[in-house]
Structure 1
């Protein structure tokens, strides 16, 4: 065992037979004392082209270079072992994700004497991590989307409403809300069937989404046949105009409704409210006010709009 452990050729053979890339840098000169031949297979740069720390730094992607160098230098000066992930440039201009695992060899006084470590090609791992991250983002997006109509769901509505309420209070701008119900929707389902009812909800959602045409406008399905339009920076008259446009577009869609008592086509009842939130105003109270107006529209004959300043 002693002969084996003292044979440098054995160690070199072991190091150079792994997929990890061993290396050593002398701290005083910032020059490579050694780097494994595996570097040519992974990055394409000749083994003898790794002379100094500058060669290493120049072969890091420019977007990762400064932060990686600064981090590694700071950790090394403190004598702290560390790891760094970065994108390395290959000799033919491609890119490989590298993980550098660094050990600091220190002098008796604690100052750095040398850095030794291993480079690992983690490109496949990064691809898998990026795929998982993308799936997580897609799942998060789905969690804010109504699965049937593909507009925002109640969760998204509550989140955006809180944000827009705060923004409107800070900027002293008006915030408008339209709450609406499809008239006699239960009778629609009873007459036409639930699959056709789902199709109706999708059609109505498309109409409403088209009505909320600005980037910050939000169309959401709150549940069942109830929808909401959140209209930031929208005054009383403009909110009323949006509600009328919804009613007009829905009439133009001419979705047959054999169970309605007010129209042969699908119609809706709307409550509209506008407020410039003050420090003492409450967002839930605002919603309740608009909801009462929706109730008035429904019980006042349906297929109508009730609204104004909240």
Structure 2
């Protein structure tokens, strides 16, 4: 009798402990797939009454549509295999919002080793998920900043190297032309000496914004190469099309109408452009191709600047 009384008391203590924690305990009978118990804390968290949790259908239906299929399939597979597991998902509240839940599940077996029940705890991890998302957003922002030129806001040399490698491999694999424009502002040192570095920085920003507008397709890539040099990478673009884009870049410079009284070629700011097109083969190297286009830019300067020369 004393043992029975002690067992009853223990059961009451355990129930009180379970129902006083923030974790929400529950139990599902495996054969019927019905809840045999769920903690009253569930109503405070999600708004659904304890009585409304009858079968696993309620559990599945009160899950975000994007999470439902994968989480249900995972939990069923793990449970059938008798493996304890955890699952994160968004649970629907009675007022139509979603709360992030982590279900920690333990599989109970009978004496024959068959699955008898599932018992577990639901934890509200909304705050943790929000913090994780903020960290992910911050990481993405920092990554974007690391690939962005601090002055002009266009992609930097680091991003160029990454994109160039990807486009080079794509062009080689599909045997498609890849064109490169290397652009240099004419007599920019003299511009800085004449107008000052603050105005020089503003000039670089204007030039970057104008020239980047010539990259009209989604894969056209414009970046600051360094100093007063900019580049444009043009996938699936042959030489004749690339020349038209180079000419478009010079027209955009003219539209800016930036005065440059110390230039030796014009009273307005101009650019020289080196251009190259290649269908990469396995023996070709990016560094050699860039060197060829650089040489074309050098020839454009040698021939009087404010012009386009092809490699």
> TM range, normalised to the smaller chain?
over 0.9
CA RMSD after TM alignment: 1.7
Counterpart CA distance in 1 for 2:55 and 2:209 is 62
Answer with 276-285 or 39-48: which moved more: 276-285
Shift of the 5–226 alpha-carbon distance from structure 1 to 2, 3 Å rule, reads: farther
1:31 aligns with 2:38: no
Runs of 4+ in 1 over 6 A off after TM superposition: none
- Alignment partner of 1:53 out of 49, 52, 56: 56
| Matched residue, 1:19 | 22
Instruction: Report matched runs for 1:276-291 at 5 Å.
Output: 276-291=279-294
| Matched residue, 2:260 | 257
1:269 aligns with 2:275: no
1:128 aligns with 2:116: no
Gaps of 5+ in 1: none
Aligned length: 307
Instruction: Report matched runs for 1:1-310 at 5 Å.
Output: 3=6, 7-307=10-310, 310=311
Partner-residue secondary structure (3-state), 2:213: helix
CA contact (8 A) 1:79 1:110 kept: no
Partner-residue secondary structure (3-state), 1:215: coil
CA contact (8 A) 1:157 1:220 kept: yes
Q: CA deviation at 1:250?
A: 0.6
**TM-score in terms of structure 1 length:** 0.94
Counterpart CA distance in 2 for 1:118 and 1:196 is 63
Q: CA deviation at 1:38?
A: 0.7
Counterpart CA distance in 2 for 1:80 and 1:5 is 31
Q: CA deviation at 1:5?
A: 9.4
Gaps of 5+ in 2: none
